[in-house]
Amino acid sequence: MKRFIYSGLILVMSGACVTTEAAEDTASWCEREWLTQSAMFADKDQPDYSGLLERWEGYGGKCQGTVTYEARLAFVYYLLDQPEKARVALQPVEHKKSQYDFLVEIAKVLIETTELTRSNSADTAHLERIEKNLQRLMKQHPDHVEVYGLLGGIETLLAHHEQAIEILESALKLGKSFNSKAGIYRNLTISYAEVDRYQDAYDAAENAMGLRRSVTDDQYFMYAVAKANAGLGNFADAQMDLKLVAAKKPELKSTTDFKSAVDFVSKKMEKSGQFKMSGRK
């Protein structure tokens, strides 16, 4: 991203550099604190985003104006499904240059994605525009796992599964701590299953559930788990996966996605010589 450009008297330049270095040191400290604090509240089966918000607001006295503070605050509001407050949080630093200004761009993408989902206008053209923005950010910031995770999720959503797998696997290879690791494995489960890598999908699903059991409430994840189990010949497990979805959300039984998952499992069973799933005509 952009850096400061200094001009003028030597004395002014020196003073600016000292001030900037001190500001960057503070910003780096605040970012490290975010990584620590967010892990405490978010990196668990039932994330406490309200608690994270309260804790992070407590850092305002020292961290306000560092850009990372405002961007991370917007992240929390995004997690709380409050995109309007997320936008407000970004306003004071939206055009401020910083080593962390890419986080502002990521926050904007998160907000835009939420707003598109709310308005049911998240069509392919919108998602492809977000994809291009994230691809640019990934090239500019190849060491930041958050960009990889978000772009990988968009690729999964766009059914660009080979690209999604490459990006999401790269996120894991970075070996850095990040709070969306369960989400990385969730998206890998889906993309692996869609390219017939059933064992990889099964393993990714186990990792996702190990990190966040509540991922099983996500029907798209469970459809992928059912496909992985069916692909591996674990038909009883595949049937149970879909029965759990139907039990938790009976209204989904009439949807195209649910019927498609049932049909996938049934065809795998038929091909293997097993009986059809009950209820399939």
Residue 55 has pLDDT above 60, yes or no: yes
For residue 93, what is the DSSP state? Answer: G
Q: Does pTM top 0.85 for this prediction? A: no
- Residue 126 in tokens: 């919108």
Which has the closest alpha carbon to 229: 258, 270, 268? 268
Find the radius of gyration of the CA atoms of the chain: 22
Over residues 176-189, the mean pLDDT reads 82
Confidence at 273, pLDDT banded by 50, 70, 90? confident
pLDDT tens digits, one per residue of 10-33: 222 223 333 445 566 899 999 999
